[in-house]
Copies of this chain bind each other. A is one copy, B any other.
Amino acid sequence: MVEAFTVMNAVGLLAFAVAGSLKGAEADLDLFGVAVLGVLTALGGGTLRDVLVGRVPASLQSTADVGVALVGVALAVAFVVGSEDVRGHPALVVSDAVGLAAFAATGALVGVDAGLSPFGVVVLATLTGVGGGSLADLLLTRVPVVLREDFYATPAALGGVGYWSATAAGVTADEALLGTAALVFAVRVLAVRGDWRLPTLSAV
C-alpha cells in the first residue's frame, strides 16, 4: 500500500516539474530559470509544509525527489525544443491530478502528526498540493491560478477535511493517506471533466 503511494508521489513530482518548466519556458526565462520553476513547482509545496511545522524540508535532505523533478525539467525542455505542445494533454492532466492527490494527502498527514487544528490540517493539505505552483506563479508575478475561478485548490482542501475526519474516527494513517489521495484525485478529475468552477462574487 505504501508502495502505491510512493509511485503516486513520484508521478506527481514529475508532472508538477513538467508543468512548472513549461511555464518558465513560456515566460522566456533562461535555462536556469526554467529549472528553478520546474523544481520549485515540484518541491515547493512540500517545502512550505515542512517550514510551517518547523521541520528541515525533506526536499533539501533527500536526493531522490529532486532527481525525479530534474527528469521532469529535462522532459519539458525536450518538449519545448521539439516544439511539442503538451499542455492540456490528458496524460499530463491525469498525472497532475495524481500529484495533487498525493501531495494533499501527505500535507494532511504531516499536519495531523504535528498536532495542528482541523483548520491547520486543511491549510497544510492545500498548501502542500498547490503551494509549489503558486510560488512559481508569484516568481512570474502572476496571481496564482488557484485563486481564480478554478476547482484546483478545493479538492486538496477537501482532502484535508477527509484525512482529519478519518483519523479522528480511528482510521489508521496508512489507510487515511490512500483514502484521501483517492478522494482528491476523484474530485479533481470530476472537476476537470465537468469544468466545475467556484462562483466569483461579481457573478452572485
Q: List residues of chain A with CB under 8 Å of any chain B CB.
A: 24-25, 27-34, 36-37, 47, 51-57, 59-63, 66, 77, 80-81, 111, 114-120, 123-124, 134, 138-144, 146-150, 153-154, 157, 197-202, 204
> Can you list 9 pairs linking A and B with CB atoms under 8 Å apart?
A29-B200, A32-B147, A57-B120, A60-B117, A60-B119, A63-B119, A134-B139, A138-B139, A141-B141
Partner of A52, one of B37, B57, B140: B57
Are B54 and A52 closer than 8 Å at their CB atoms?
no
A150 to B31, CA, bound (A): 10
Q: How many copies does the complex hold?
A: 3
Name the residue on B nearest A149 (C-beta). Answer: B30
A53 to B201, CA, bound (A): 37
Query: Residues of B contacting A30 with CB < 8 Å?
Result: 147-150, 197-200
A60 to B121, CA, bound (A): 8
A194 to chain B, nearest CB (A): 16
A37, A66, A81 interface centre (most CB from chain B within 10 Å): A66
A186 to chain B, nearest CB (A): 19
A28 to B201, CA, bound (A): 7
